[in-house]
Amino acid sequence: MAIPTPRDVQLAVVDWLDSRFPFTEVVDESLTQRVPNYANAFYYCFGGMVFILIVLQIVTGIFLAFYYVPDGAGNPAPAYTSVNFIINHVYLGWLIRGIRFWSANLLIVMVVLHMARVYWTGSYRAPRELNWMVGVTMMFLVLVFSLTGYLLPWDTKAYWATSVTIKIAGSPPVIGPIDIGGWTKLLLQGGPVEGPETLQRFFAIHVFLLPALIIVLMYVHFRLIREHGISEPL
């Protein structure tokens, strides 16, 4: 009997999988789409850049989470010391943190450029209004990512910058019996002052809540783009 080549093994595995679920068909369908020529203009690349940078944030975030410790039983010191440990002792830790820092900044720039392109080409009009709204929501999520991530190193700059953030979030007025600002502040801070509870909350929002929301919204954004196709130039 002839010895199977790697290609034979590959085909056998794919056939085995395809006879249980149409994987090849689903992957082909989701990865290929004809795109009109005008979408080759450079300013159509910003949305894709945003996507790549978000993936980079997720990957570098997972690497940092191998060493980052937000809180040691009500004591936030490990947040600070673990970030120092990452920069000074973990192999290439400084590089991962640096890539994350610069790509996070670039992400904000790309979101603004993408939004400007969509506005400039009038792509927010019918039938794409819903996708514009999904986009605006994602833009807010990106900003909340930045604000919550800023506290995590737990150094002096992080602490005082966040106290400004919380102050602004707590500034809405009391309406009737509801103290909107006060409640928001308490919810974010987790207590009467900014402390370990605040760090724990910001960490949970940053690594669990926001990634889950943005992944769902990106899926919706891309499904809508495929539904409508890329808008024509004005």
**Residues within the interface to ligand HEM (CB under 6 A):** 44, 46-48, 50-51, 54, 111, 114-115, 117-118, 121, 123-124, 128, 131-132, 135-136, 138-139, 142, 218, 221, 225, 228, 230-231
d(CA 159, CA 156): 5
Between 47 and 93, whose beta carbon lies closer to ligand HEM? Answer: 47
Residue 95 or residue 130: which is nearer to ligand HEM going by CB? 130
Nearer to ligand HEM, 83 or 115 (CB): 115
d(CA 73, CA 67): 17
In angstroms, give the least distance from the CB of 218 to ligand HEM. Answer: 5
Instruction: State the residue number with the nearest CB to ligand HEM.
Output: 135
- The torsion defined by the Cα of 62, 67, 70 and 74, in degrees rounded to 10, comes to 150
Query: Given the complex with ligand HEM, which of 189 and 231 has the nearer CB atom?
Result: 231
Separation between Cα atoms, residue 20 and residue 166, nearest integer Å: 52
Name the minimum Å distance from CB 227 to ligand HEM: 10
CB atoms inside a 10 Å sphere around CB 218? 17
Is residue 197 within 8 A of residue 191, CB to CB? The reply is yes
Least separation in angstroms between residue 143's CB and ligand HEM is: 10
Question: Cβ 135 to ligand HEM, closest distance in Å?
Answer: 2
Tell me whether residue 54 or residue 83 sits nearer to ligand HEM (CB atom): 54
| φ and ψ at residue 75, rounded to 5 degrees | -115, 110
DSSP code, position 122: T
Q: From its phi and psi, is residue 233 left (phi > 0), alpha (psi between -120 and 50) or beta?
A: beta
What burial class does residue 91 get, using C-beta atoms within 10 Å of its C-beta: 0-12 exposed, 13-18 middle, 19+ buried?
exposed
- 210 versus 230: smaller Cβ distance to ligand HEM: 230
Residue 118 CB, nearest distance to ligand HEM (Å)? 4
Q: How far is the CB of 163 from ligand HEM (least distance, A)?
A: 27
